[in-house]
């Protein structure tokens, strides 16, 4: 019996609301209980089982959580970041640890800018994007794009893969000095210059982007063609779940 219920739960958890709505009463309650068990953590605030502090999984990792502070495209701390800590699913964190270890013999390491991102932070971005009167960071972060076009061009969206917990924004650093390696454009520059393949940046920066991409892809991450810093773990454990617990230690 338990096995049968678990099977139904596994099927129902992946269904749309309409399909799930066809089940009723006690069975539905059982199925929902099964979902909560199978998909823990839920999006409930404060629930972060299955997530880990990446600093402990990747010794030597440099953590520079830009949305915790003011050095970002909005120019102030972003909602949901209550500590400068990089949280990711255990699977993504372990993979990053392997990347860090493989880079070390070359005197290189990783520096993360953003990791798990609560849904409320993404909502904060959206509110900011709609306020065209606030252009504080335009010169530094989107000099060639009108703020009114950030949505249609895909720079800001209602949802982010980061909220699923297996996506990370990062760069390479010199392991000894912790200085960033030149990538040809800064983090979160909303511009085609940030495309890894952009050829208006110098050859050395393009090679550095390629090195980061090779290191990440070697451990199961896939790149994004519009942002040299953004990678998502293939086979991520929560591909459909957009979490909203706050980032804390």
Q: Examine residue 236 and tell whether it contacts Zn ion (CB under 5 A).
A: no
Q: Examine residue 191 and tell whether it contacts Zn ion (CB under 5 A).
A: no
- Tokens matching residue 223: 């790149």
From CA 54, how far away is CA 57, in angstroms rounded?
5
Indicate which residues carry an active-site annotation. 227
Number of residues forming the site for Zn ion (CB under 5 A): 2
Helix (H) or strand (E) holding 36: helix 25-39
Site string for Zn ion, 93-122 (x = CB under 5 A): ------------------------------
Q: Examine residue 64 and tell whether it contacts Zn ion (CB under 5 A).
A: no
Closer residue to Zn ion in complex, CB, 12/72: 72
Nearest 5°: the CA angle 198, 117, 154 is 40
Residue 91: C-alpha distances to residues 50, 111, 235 (Å) = 9, 18, 9
Q: Examine residue 230 and tell whether it contacts Zn ion (CB under 5 A).
A: yes
Closer residue to Zn ion in complex, CB, 11/145: 145
Instruction: Evaluate whether 248 touches 82 at the Cβ level (below 8 Å).
Output: yes
Q: Examine residue 164 and tell whether it contacts Zn ion (CB under 5 A).
A: no
State the nearest-atom distance from the C-beta of 240 to Zn ion, in Å: 18
State the nearest-atom distance from the C-beta of 223 to Zn ion, in Å: 11
Closer residue to Zn ion in complex, CB, 13/123: 123
Closer residue to Zn ion in complex, CB, 34/68: 68
From CA 202, how far away is CA 198, in angstroms rounded?
9
- Tokens matching residue 226: 């519009």
Closest CA to 232 of 180, 156, 186, 167: 167
Q: Examine residue 244 and tell whether it contacts Zn ion (CB under 5 A).
A: no
Chain positions contacting Zn ion, by CB under 5 A? 169, 230
């Amino acid at each position: 019996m338990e096995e049968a219920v678990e099977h139904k739960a596994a099927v129902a958890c992946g269904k749309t609301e309409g399909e799930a709505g066809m089940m009723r009463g006690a069975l539905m309650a059982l199925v929902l209980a099964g979902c909560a068990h199978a998909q823990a953590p839920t999006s409930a605030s404060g629930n972060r089982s299955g997530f880990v502090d990446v600093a402990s999984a990747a010794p030597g990792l440099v953590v520079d959580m830009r949305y915790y502070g003011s050095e970002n495209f909005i120019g102030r701390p972003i909602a949901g970041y209550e500590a400068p800590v990089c949280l990711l699913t255990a699977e993504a964190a372990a993979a990053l640890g392997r990347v860090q270890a493989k880079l070390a013999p070359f005197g290189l390491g990783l520096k993360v800018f953003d990791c798990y991102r609560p849904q409320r932070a993404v909502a904060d971005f959206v509110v900011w994007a709609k306020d065209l009167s606030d252009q504080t960071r335009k010169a530094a972060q989107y000099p060639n794009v009108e703020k009114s076009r950030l949505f249609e061009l895909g720079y800001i969206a209602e949802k982010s893969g980061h909220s699923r917990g297996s996506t990370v924004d990062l760069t390479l650093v010199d392991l000894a000095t912790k200085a960033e390696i030149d990538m040809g454009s800064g983090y979160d520059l909303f511009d085609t210059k940030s495309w890894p393949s952009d050829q208006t940046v110098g050859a050395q920066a393009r090679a550095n982007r390629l090195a980061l991409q090779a290191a990440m892809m070697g451990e199961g991450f896939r790149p994004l063609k519009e942002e040299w810093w953004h990678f998502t773990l293939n086979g991520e454990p929560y591909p459909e779940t957009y979490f909203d617990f706050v980032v804390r230690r």
